[in-house]
Structure 1
Amino acid sequence: MKRRTFTQALLALGASSAFAKAKTISDAASKQMLANKIPSTGELIPVIGLGTNKNLNIDLSSKELPERLQLVKTFFDLGGEMLDSSPMYGSSEEVIGYCLEQLGYPKKLFSATKVWTRGKQAGIEQMQESLRLWRLKSFDLMQIHNLVDWKLHLKTLRQWKQVGLINYLGITTYAGREHQALIEIMKTEPLDFVQITYNIRDRKVEKYLLPLALDKGIAIIVNRPFKELFGYTKGKQLPSYATELGCNTWAQFYLKFAISHPAVTCAIPATSKIKHLKDNMAAGTGLLPDDKLRQEMINTCERYL
């Protein structure tokens, strides 16, 4: 059940709070991963994906490989779909390809990676290499990493999309200094996805970028949803309203905040530990906060941050 469905139901029933609705949800429904529509097509995608920057950047001969395989298996078992990677992430794409082959290529895979180089031919060759490493014939999403040579690569991505080598195209950034350039691109270029940093402490994108994504029908992927947060709340007790919302940990608290923004399609926290993965995935189930509760979450964190 999606957050907008909850909000409409609460208003129709005249419920006194979001928590009254929570009590009526069956255990099965409360554990089902929430999904959002990709604006450009209406395709549903789970709200929690998996980033692969450092956690899958290991050698195929590493003794840690079986643990990473189990990590990826658990991700799919818990309803995950989007694996997000990049040539920047060392051997991560090669490890993803190994894991996908070992798991029989899960049908629910949403494959997302990036082009991160300069020059048309270099970009084409890099994307072809990513296909080889993932052991796939096409990608769901190809993104231009950190706006590098974006004008040139965007032309190639449109061609790849036309012939079916990718289903969606997008652009990513993690740096606030690139936001204005990204906003101008979003205003003038047809994009399916934009990937940005957004969390309860770093909310700069709420002013212009997220509203623009809503207006233009661009899906938002949130990276680094935990950036510099855990140190502030370590050892601190969760507020009572958080547990009623279904948050048992600060990780779930932070993720529910990020994915509850109406412009956000999904978040891609990265982890190498299965217990943390399970924790993250649980944030994508049950209730999400409305605007009033989101402000209360901000108020709570501002007392710590």
Structure 2
Amino acid sequence: METRKIPKTDLNLSAIAFGSFASGGWAPSEKKAATEAIRASYQMGITTFDTAPIYGLGETETVIGEALKPFPRDKIQIMTKFGLRWIYQKGTYFRSFINFDGKKVDIYRYASKESVIEECENSLKRLNMDYIDLYQLHWPDETTPMEETFEGIQRLVEQGKVRYVGVSNLTPEQLDKVEHTFPVVSIQMPYNMLDRKIEEEIIPYCIEHDTALIAYRPLGAGLLTGKMSPDIDFSRHDTRRGHPNFTPENIRKANKFVDSLRPIAQANKVSVPQLVLSWTLNRPGITCVLTGAMNSAQAIENAKAANIKLSKKDTNAINTALLESGF
């Protein structure tokens, strides 16, 4: 597996990283499959694992920690986040969802100094680890001054509990403000063939400032797999339910685009998701790509995407298909 260095650090990330958004809050059999997916990823050369307290309301970090326990800690890069709380109704209201117990949970963006320190301590306990390699602000909290948030982060760095600090889901203006407050080394943003908004400002910013860019949702939360039916009925727990990207019309449009990729994938003897991951991984400014897996088979397929070498002809064909798709 290719590794890519985060500038200004000694942290090398696997080109394909494991994203654990869906690896928590499941039935025991599904947790077992998630554990197998995480371990299969490591066996395939994926050493970078991304999580967050909000995933599974803490449960996902526990799953990650238990799954990675057999492997050498110094061979693994753990990336988790802070700034979304479901315990305190403070800060900025973010959203609500129905958890697997049928209870409504309200989420707030909250990143006070005390909250940040508490979140880190809780994450370390759930992960059963002594330090976090990359600690990322999940979403900005407009009610807390950046200086206060990163005063808490500075303490965690001084204590050796956090090695490096990144951000996620920030505008260029917010990113610039953070840069004047604290030296962050990365930003995590959604990026895929159907969502390329960050090409306008974020990617040029990262290239200019030598900041690592970690791409999440590379398969468009399923839209780019070609396996989603326009008639799909998302469960009430699914964050895609009611989202404008997942209307029947948009799913049909995405499926039509995916159909145009199939001949290119077949010619390269890869799956469409592997083709999509490879394209994303090799876009300018991208350091690594986060992708999840529901089981070990998916994890193995994802990891193999790092080894795909697309020709210039293939890349041009994909870009032409994108232009013609209307996305």
Equivalent position of 1:130 in the other structure: 123
SS in structure 1 at match of 2:171: helix
CA shift in 2, pair 1:250/1:209, >3 Å: same
Q: Look up the match of 2:61.
A: 93
For 1:271, the aligned partner's letter is A
Q: Which amino acid aligns with 2:203?
A: L
How far does residue 170 in structure 1 lie from its aligned partner after superposition? Answer: 0.6
Aligned partner of 2:8 in structure 1 is 40
TM-score (ref. length: structure 2): 0.73
1:201-256 per-residue CA deviation (whole Å, 9 max, x = no partner) reads 21111122111111111111101111133352477264655556x56111112111
Match of 1:114 in 2: 81
Q: Are the aligned partners of 2:36 and 2:295 in contact in 1 as well (CA < 8 Å)?
A: no
Q: If each structure's strand is expressed as a fraction of its own residues, which one has the higher value?
A: 2
**Counterpart-to-counterpart distance in 2, 1:150 and 1:219:** 24
Report the counterpart of residue 223 of structure 1 in structure 2: 216
1:70 to 36, 46, 49: 36
Once the two structures are TM-superposed, the CA of residue 190 in structure 1 deviates from its matched residue by: 2.3
Q: In the alignment, is the contact (CA less than 8 A) between 2:277 and 2:305 conserved in 1? A: yes
Aligned length: 264
Relative to structure 1, is the Cα distance of residues 49 and 184 closer, same or farther in structure 2, using a 3 angstrom cutoff?
Answer: same
Could you report, residue by residue, the CA deviation over 1:97-153 in whole angstroms, capped at 9, with x for unpaired residues?
A: 22123x245542100000123321122111100000000010101001112347132
TM alignment of 1:11-50, pairs within 5 A: 33-50=1-18
Judged with a 3 Å threshold, the aligned counterparts in structure 2 of structure 1 residues 159 and 293 are, in CA distance, closer, same or farther, namely: farther
Give the superposition deviation at 1:159: 2.9
Superposed displacement of residue 95, structure 1: 1.2
Contact 1:36 1:46 in 2 (8 A): yes
Q: Could you list the runs of 5+ residues in structure 2 that have no partner in the other structure?
A: 84-109, 226-250
Q: Do residues 262 (structure 1) and 262 (structure 2) align?
A: no
User: Which residue is equivalent to 2:243?
Assistant: none
Counterpart of 1:82?
Answer: 48
Structure 1 runs not aligned, ≥5 long: 1-32
So what's the TM-score if we normalise by structure 1? 0.78
Equivalent-residue separation in structure 1 for 2:324 and 2:270 (angstroms): 19
Alpha carbons of structure 1 residues 289 and 170: separation in structure 2 relative to 1, 3 Å: farther
Q: CA contact under 8 A between 1:56 and 1:272: conserved in structure 2? A: no
Q: What is the distance in 1 between the residues matched to 2:179 and 2:113?
A: 24
Distance 2:292 2:25 in 1: 12
- SS of 2:129's partner is coil
Specify the SS of the correspondent of 2:7: coil
Structure 1 36/88 Cα, relative in aligned 2: closer, same or farther at 3 Å? same
Q: Is the 8 A contact 2:16 2:303 kept in 1?
A: yes
Counterparts of residues 135-150 of structure 1 (less than 5 Å): 135-148=128-141, 149=144
Given that 2:192 and 2:218 are in contact with CA atoms closer than 8 Å, whether structure 1 keeps it comes out as yes
**How many Å apart are 1:274 and its aligned residue?**
2.1
Instruction: Work out whether residues 49 and 267 of structure 1, in 8 Å CA contact, stay in contact via their aligned partners in 2.
Output: yes
CA drift at 1:263: 1.1
Partner of 1:160: 156
1:21 match: none
* Whole-angstrom distance in 2 between the partners of 1:229 and 1:70: 24
1:239–1:96 CA distance, 2 compared to 1 (3 A): closer
* 2:271 pairs with 1:249: yes
Q: Which amino acid aligns with 1:133?
A: R
Partner SS, residue 147 of structure 1: coil
Structure 1 residue corresponding to 2:171, chosen from 179, 183, 192: 179
Q: Deviation digits for residues 3-36 of structure 1, max 9, x if unmatched?
A: xxxxxxxxxxxxxxxxxxxxxxxxxxxxxx1221
Partner SS for 2:126? helix
